[in-house]
Amino acid sequence: MVLNNDSSSTLENRYNNEISKAGIFSFFSAFRNNHLKFDEHYKSLPIEQAFAQMKIELQDSKTVFDQQYKNPLRRTILATNPSQPEQKPNVIFVMMESMSSSFMKEEYNGKPITPTLNDLANNSIYFSNMFANGTRTVRGMEAVTLSIPPTPGNSIVKRVDNQNLYTISTVFKAKGYENMFFYGGDGYFDNMNAFFGGNGFDIYDRGRGSILSDKINTNRYNINDNEVKFENAWGIADDDIYRKVLNVADQKYKTKQPFFAFVMTTSNHKPYTYEDGKIDIPSGTGRPGAVKYADYAIGDFLAQAKKKPWFANTVFVFIADHCASSAGKDAIDVKNHHIPAFIYNLKSRPNENVSKEVAQIDIFPTLFSLFNWKYTSQFYGKDAFDQQYQSRSFVGTYIKLGMKKGDDVIILSDQKKINQYKWTDLNLKDAPIDPKFERSIISNYQTADYLFSNKLLNEK
């Protein structure tokens, strides 16, 4: 017998319906479907009011909303400098596993464990005050590909009906790019291959199969044994995945078609093992060694890339998926959402330290504007360099949904609870509810959930 949550809603009285769904039945259904319905569990607004609020928040000097689309947030983003041509460099995007901002201040035997990232901070556009959407890799993937707040339940990456969505790959494809996803493990894990393969990416992973699904029109390429020098339960070492990226980039360069490579690393994860002789911390001894090895691998990767004929026309983006530790005594431990992000080798803008608060979902809308692109968007992310940019970030867990604006934090919880705090001395302290802030957080999360639930995040 197959059950779903709707089968319990057979009573005319809504209160009785909720009682009938209480307990293990409702939670089993929610976990099975990886999705908690926002308006049933969280404080909400009339949906028209929520979308009206979002249009206000997303409006800026380059934004033109178009009423012809079913998605109310679908709009045109105009070029930053209409009189200047678009830039179309190759883009290699690296999502760094568990790379907390705090690691950039840590040392081992008196030496920094992130010398490469510390150097990048001085030689790139460095976002020193960025916050991650969530506490899992799939949340980071969701944040950057869909540019959306973390909807309640599991990441959209892990849900059903998550193909043919309007993602960053849609924008890259419209500009003539070839999109690729690189992962050092088997992309079947966490539904990554189904998500990326179903949304316009060719797959390069360690999986042995060649077919993702009859419904997914994409290519899958195996990373062969002879390309791997070190591997653990999570996947091949960062050295190996970067070597694969370099080799494929060499091939793509010959086609003269720009490419976008999304690279997911794995080495900065338990059991913290890597090839001996790379760094001065023994393999398998703990997080500091894994961080230093991951940093070393980035440095070696960039050193090798600089020798390539395609390097001069390639922009590198490095960003963490989430922090290494996300547990804390508060409802949401805000400090454990603080991640680093870098845009490196972009010739059109001077390097700088961007100290304003920026959300993880802003990284690609910002990059597209730096490329001077005119494009269609339904993203929640915004150009961090726009004069009308207003800082805010999203910090969520599976159930709790947070929004941060400076030292002010609001958290939505199930059972339609809402609390506001001051983030003081890295701790949350109770504060009165600001009605404007309350309207903002509800509108962001409610509309994001509504769009996915009603299949309005699709490409068309």
Q: Considering the domain boundaries, does residue 105 fall inside one?
A: yes
Q: Considering the domain boundaries, does residue 32 fall inside one?
A: no
d(CA 196, CA 213): 12
Q: Considering the domain boundaries, does residue 314 fall inside one?
A: yes
Count Cβ atoms below 10 Å from residue 115 Cβ, excluding itself: 14
Q: Which amino acid is at 47?
A: I
pLDDT, residue 216, reads: 77
Both tokens of 223, joined, read 């990373």
- Residues, the chain: 460
Residue 361 belongs to a domain with what CATH number? 3.40.720.10
Q: Considering the domain boundaries, does residue 10 fall inside one?
A: no
- Write the DSSP assignment of 272-325 as a string of letters: ----TTSSSS-TTS-HHHHHHHHHHHHHHHHHHHTTSTTGGGEEEEEEESS-S-
Q: Which amino acid is at 346?
A: L
251: nearest Cα among 296, 305, 310, 172: 310
The residues with which 338 forms a beta bridge, in sequence order, are: 131
- Asked whether the beta carbons of 349 and 370 are under 8 A apart, the reply is yes
d(CA 275, CA 46): 56
pLDDT, residue 460, reads: 67
Q: Considering the domain boundaries, does residue 70 fall inside one?
A: no
Q: Considering the domain boundaries, does residue 286 fall inside one?
A: yes
Does residue 271 have a cis peptide bond before it, meaning omega lies within 30 degrees of 0? yes
d(CA 346, CA 93): 13
Q: What residues make up the domain containing 131?
A: 90-393
Residue 383's alpha-carbon distances to 160, 217, 380, 442, in angstroms, are 30, 32, 10, 22
Under DSSP, is residue 262 helix (H, G, I), strand (E, B) or coil? strand
Q: Considering the domain boundaries, does residue 183 fall inside one?
A: yes
pLDDT, residue 8, reads: 37
Under DSSP, is residue 223 helix (H, G, I), strand (E, B) or coil? coil
Q: Considering the domain boundaries, does residue 116 fall inside one?
A: yes
How many domains are there within the chain? 1
pLDDT by residue for the chain (460 residues), tens only, comes to: 333 433 333 334 433 443 334 444 444 455 445 678 899 999 999 999 999 999 999 999 999 998 778 899 999 999 999 999 999 999 999 999 999 999 999 999 999 999 999 999 999 999 999 999 999 999 999 999 999 999 999 999 999 899 999 999 999 999 999 999 999 999 999 999 999 999 999 999 998 665 566 667 789 999 999 999 999 999 999 999 999 999 999 999 999 999 999 999 999 999 999 999 999 999 999 999 999 999 999 999 999 999 999 999 999 999 999 999 765 445 689 999 999 999 999 999 999 999 999 999 999 999 999 999 999 999 999 999 999 999 999 999 889 999 999 999 999 999 999 999 999 988 999 999 999 999 999 999 999 999 999 999 997 6
Residue 24's alpha-carbon distances to 20, 29, 30, 417, in angstroms, are 11, 8, 10, 21
